[in-house]
Amino acid sequence: MVARGLAEVIPPATLAFFRWSVACIALAPLALPSLRREWPALRRNFRYLVVTALLGVTLFNTLIYLAGRTTDTLNMSLISTCIPAFILLLSRIFLGEALTKARLTGLTAAFCGVLLLVGRGNPATLLAVRPNPGDIWMLLAALLFAAYSILVRRKPKDIGPTALLGASFGLGLLMLLPWTALEVAFGPVPQFSPTVFGSILYIGLGASLAAYWLWSCALEDIGPSQAGLIYYSLPLFSGLEAALLLGEPVAWFHGAAGILILGGIRLATRPSVKAA
């Protein structure tokens, strides 16, 4: 929603640059000691760090902001549900994770719940969705984030999570500089206001620092396939927050979608009998 709301206010790379600058400043007191301590390991795995930062920091969020300029929130929400499918596919190819019947059934149920929720119980809403250039950028962003998740899962053992985040944030920010410079030189002047500053602080501290830290922990604990399924809960959380914070009405399809989404995630992440 922030990507869509600021689409006409700040160019995409410039917004991403401010976002990651805030995240880097906030993370620096924690990351600098780890970066100094693990410098030999970071230097040995420099190529890995560059690719990880390029996919997860430089490109992923910037492409979302680019998509928000030519598509709407509904399209972006629908396309974001491709992330779990991409993660499952890449996990099967690169990590050898099995695509069990329970996982595929749960994924399908959760996806149907998302369709019910974003369509507000009316199939005609989904049929009215029309593709546009922003959808292509959003689809590419979803694929890149899936690849980033696989890379984080295959993190070298001699690099800790704090050092990984610090190096990724810093390298990603550096690789954003040329793109940002082009926008500043040839693009429109950003329009700053208290709302814009508040949005940048939110995406820098919340959607970047806190979310990426928690996501890295989830990938390390349960793997990308199971962690990726939680993406289906994003529209559900959005609906709940809209009802609680904005007073938006709650309808039957909210409850039905919630059952499908949470039930699907539970089914897909349930340990098998053999594993148990």
* Two structure tokens written together for 50: 């560059």
**Predicted pLDDT at 176:** 96
* For range 85-111, the mean pLDDT: 80
Give yes or no for residue 273 having a pLDDT over 50: no
**Predicted pLDDT at 276:** 41
HEC profile of the chain: CHHHHCCCCCCHHHHHHHHHHHHHHHHHHHHHHHHHHCHHHHHHCHHHHHHHHHHHHHHHHHHHHHHCCCCCHHHHHHHHCHHHHHHHHHHHHHHCCCCCHHHHHHHHHHHHHHHHHHCCCCHHHHHCCCCCHHHHHHHHHHHHHHHHHHHHHCCCCCCCHHHHHHHHHHHHHHHHHHHHHHHHHHCCCCCCCHHHHHHHHHHHHHHHHHHHHHHHHHHHHHHHHHHHHHHHHHHHHHHHHHHHHCCCCCCHHHHHHHHHHHHHHHHHHCCCCCCC
* For range 16-28, the mean pLDDT: 95
Give yes or no for residue 12 having a pLDDT over 70: yes
Give yes or no for residue 160 having a pLDDT over 70: yes
270: how many CB neighbours lie within 10 A of its CB? Answer: 15
CA distance 144 to 57: 10
**Predicted pLDDT at 275:** 46
Give yes or no for residue 272 having a pLDDT over 70: no
**Predicted pLDDT at 76:** 73
* For range 257-273, the mean pLDDT: 72
* For range 168-183, the mean pLDDT: 95
Length of the chain: 276
Mean pLDDT for the chain overall: 84
* For range 155-162, the mean pLDDT: 91
Tens digits of residue pLDDT in 45-96:
999 999 999 999 999 989 988 888 887 766 677 777 778 878 888 888 888 8
The most confident of 35-44, 76-85, 104-113, by mean pLDDT: 35-44
* For range 146-167, the mean pLDDT: 92
